[in-house]
Amino acid sequence: MLNEPLISEPQEQQRQPLSFPPSLLNYLYVGHFLARWGARMWEFSVGLYMINVWPDSLALAAAYGVVESASMALFGPVVGRLVDKFTYIKVLRLWLLSQNFSFMIAGGTVVALLLYEDVKSENFIVFLSFILLINISGAVGVLSTLAGTILVEREWVVVISEGQHPGVLTKMNATIRRIDLVCKLFAPVVSGFIISFVSLTASALTLAIWNILSVCLQYWLLMSVYNGIPALSESSQKRVYRSLPTDSERSSLTDESRNSHYLGDNDLEPLDHGWMRKVIERVSRISYFRAWKVYLEQDVVLPGIALAFLYFTVLSFGTLMTAALEWQGIPAYTIGIARGISATIGILATFLYPVLESQLSTLRTGLWSIWSQWTCLVVCVASIWVPNKLGAAYLLMGGVALSRLGLWMFDLAVIQQMQDQVPESDRCVVGGVQNSLQSVLDLTTYVMGIIISNPRDFWKLIILSLLVVTLAAVLYSIHIYRVRKHLFHFEKLYPLVRIVFR
């Protein structure tokens, strides 16, 4: 009796103090909140800007989505490599300056476009220049946001949680996701009310001012976290040493350069036979292809691809669905409130996920989550056959909002699997490729929006979206079966079925 612990081991781990001041975590969360708020304001508003600039067509909104998603798809792996190569401080400065400056330019350009409404008819070249500047600024802002996401969610969270009790990583992941969803909840509501009760111009001006004022505070908060947690500076130094060539690499490069000076005509003949091998080696050294090679070699590649497929959808409160609802006559503030309800359900998912993960495991939580999302999206497809246009719109928004519970729990499950199973040296690269793949599927959605640009045909995009979500769920189920050799414990389900039928 005397040797028995007074507190159980899990409780003791939960009460174990952190090795740094807990206030630094609050600094991290507030800095992340400020950065995500500006990005979420732009994400919601840009579709409304475009549908008002060019009414009765989703073409401009879809074109912006194509530019943004193509930029993420092409440069996402490069951003991941740069985040992996640079020190934390350099990444932090580049991220905050480029993100806030880009959204400031985009908001200012929208203000100019809305103030001079006749520019489209009077000088179409100037009008196109404004649209192009909005697209480029938005794309740069989103790429900068990607760098910040990789730095905070994929790198800092893992480094900070190392050496702490096991629940810290799960709790930090859930809190970071909760902050993102809080921004997704309130930023559209605030923007929607400004647009509905003030003007579109006022909302664009608010966006520009927000990014001007918040950048200094974000930098101070995140630098305080970096300076206050020694593990971050130590990890940053390791990254610098890892990027330097080793002695063996230097000697091999020296030998290659020395031998290249002594090659004669007869020596070139055997080299001709291996030209294909050398081309393959040179291509594999390109950072873009090397990043994809690293990604495809991971054990969690199928969950990553399944998560990426969920981005090939219009069944979210994104640019295309927002523009389509605006065309149907749904007020901007109503769309903002619906998006807020959707984000609220997503926030509930961040509270529910740690509970399910502790009871079911990360793998099984992901399985139940993605199929629950699929079930809710069937309601969206059912809205196609509702004769009342207003009723159909509300049923569509309701189905999308309910599906966020499964979506965000699945997102957390996949991210935690990547954090646990991807080696530290590949973490940033895999994160960059994952975001790039998600952008490729997001790009495909906007390409389909250009092809099916008539808002009356939006139902075709709804059906296509459900089919792709079905494919994602099947892929993840295959991964579960490969790892666990089964999907469900049917012997445990049998007593439950008997009770139900009784």
Render pLDDT for 41-69 as a digit per residue (tens, 0 to 9): 888 888 788 878 877 777 788 888 888 87
- What pLDDT digit, counting tens, does each position of 134-174 carry? 999 989 998 998 888 888 887 888 888 887 776 778 788 88
Rg (CA), the chain: 25
Q: Residues 6 or more apart from 456 whose CB is under 8 A from it? A: none
4: confidence class by pLDDT, cuts 50, 70, 90 = very low
In this prediction, residues 87-110 reach a mean pLDDT of 89
Residues 22-42 pLDDT 10s: 888 889 999 999 988 988 888
- Give dist(CA 306, CA 314) in Å, integer: 16
By percentage, how much of the chain surpasses pLDDT 70?
82
Centre a 10 Å sphere on the Cβ of residue 138 and count the other Cβ atoms it contains: 25
**What is the topology classification, in CATH, of domain 295-501?**
Growth Hormone; Chain: A; (1.20.1250)
Q: Quick check: 250 pLDDT over 60?
A: no
Residue 428 has pLDDT above 50, yes or no: yes
CB neighbourhood size of 297 (10 A): 10
Residue 280: pLDDT band with limits 50, 70, 90: very low
Burial grade of 274 (CB within 10 A; 0-12, 13-18, 19 or more): exposed
Say whether pLDDT at 271 is over 70: no
Helix, coil or strand: residue 397: helix
More confident of the two residues 339 and 496: 339
DSSP string, 201-231: HHHHHHHHHHHHHHHHHHHHHHHHHHHH-HH
More confident residue, 262 or 145: 145
What pLDDT is recorded for position 16?
60
Q: Is pLDDT of 291 > 50? A: yes
The pLDDT value recorded for residue 486 is 64
Q: Are 229 and 20 in contact (CB under 8 A)?
A: yes
Q: Report how far apart, in Å, the C-alpha atoms of 372 and of each of 288, 365, 407, 441 are.
A: 35, 11, 8, 21
Of residues 322 and 305, the one with the higher pLDDT is 305
User: What pLDDT, in 10s, does the model give residues 190-233?
Assistant: 888 888 888 888 888 998 898 888 888 999 999 998 988 888 88
CATH superfamily name and code, 21-242: MFS general substrate transporter like domains (1.20.1250.20)
Angle at 123 between CA 117 and CA 129, to 5 degrees: 85
Whether residue 353 contacts residue 174, with contact meaning beta carbons closer than 8 Å, is answered with yes
Q: What is the pLDDT of residue 452?
A: 85
* Element of type H or E holding 271: helix 265-273
Side chain identity, residue 33: F
Between 501 and 154, the more confident residue is 154
Other residues' Cβ atoms within 10 Å of the Cβ of residue 448:
18
Structure tokens at 361: 């495991």
Q: If you average pLDDT over residues 77-94, what whole number do you get?
A: 84
Question: How do the domains of the chain map onto residue ranges?
Answer: 21-242, 295-501
Task: Confirm whether 21-242 and 295-501 share one CATH topology.
Answer: yes
The DSSP 8-state label assigned to residue 329 in this structure reads: T
pLDDT at res. 402: 92
Query: Is the confidence at residue 92, as pLDDT, over 50?
Result: yes
Distances (CA, A) of 327 to 44, 335, 456: 15, 12, 9
One-letter identity of residue 117: E
Q: Note whether 320 and 461 are within 8 A (CB).
A: yes
φ/ψ of residue 217, rounded to 5: -65, -40
Helix intervals (H) in 86-115: 88-115
| Helix or strand holding residue 15 (H, E) | helix 9-15
Q: What is the pLDDT of residue 257?
A: 47
The answer, yes or no, to whether residue 289 has pLDDT greater than 90, is: no
Please state the rounded mean pLDDT for residues 395-413. Answer: 91
- What is the C-alpha separation between 410 and 300, in angstroms, rounded? 14
Question: Does the pLDDT value for residue 248 go beyond 80?
Answer: no
Whether residue 112 has pLDDT greater than 60: yes
pLDDT confidence of 377, banded at 50, 70, 90?
Answer: very high
215 vs 14, higher pLDDT: 215
Which position has the higher pLDDT, 359 or 274?
Answer: 359
Q: pLDDT per residue over 341-353, tens digit each?
A: 887 888 888 888 8
Query: How confident is the prediction for the chain on average, in pLDDT?
Result: 80
Length reported for the chain: 502
Which residue has better confidence, 435 or 458?
458
pTM above 0.75, yes or no: no
Whether residue 285 is predicted with pLDDT greater than 80 in this model: the reply is no
Max intra-chain CA distance, the chain:
89
Sequential DSSP letters for 27-42: HHHHHHHHHHHHHHHH
| Residue from 62, 5, 12, 61 nearest 165 by CA | 12
- 15, pLDDT greater than 80: no
Residue 19 C-alpha from the chain's centroid: 30
- Which single residue is written with the structure tokens 């993840």? 476
Query: Given this model, what pLDDT does residue 298 score?
Result: 84
The answer on pLDDT for 457 being more than 90 is no
Neighbour tally for 321: CB within 10 Å = 25
- State phi, psi for 52 to the nearest 5 degrees: -80, -30
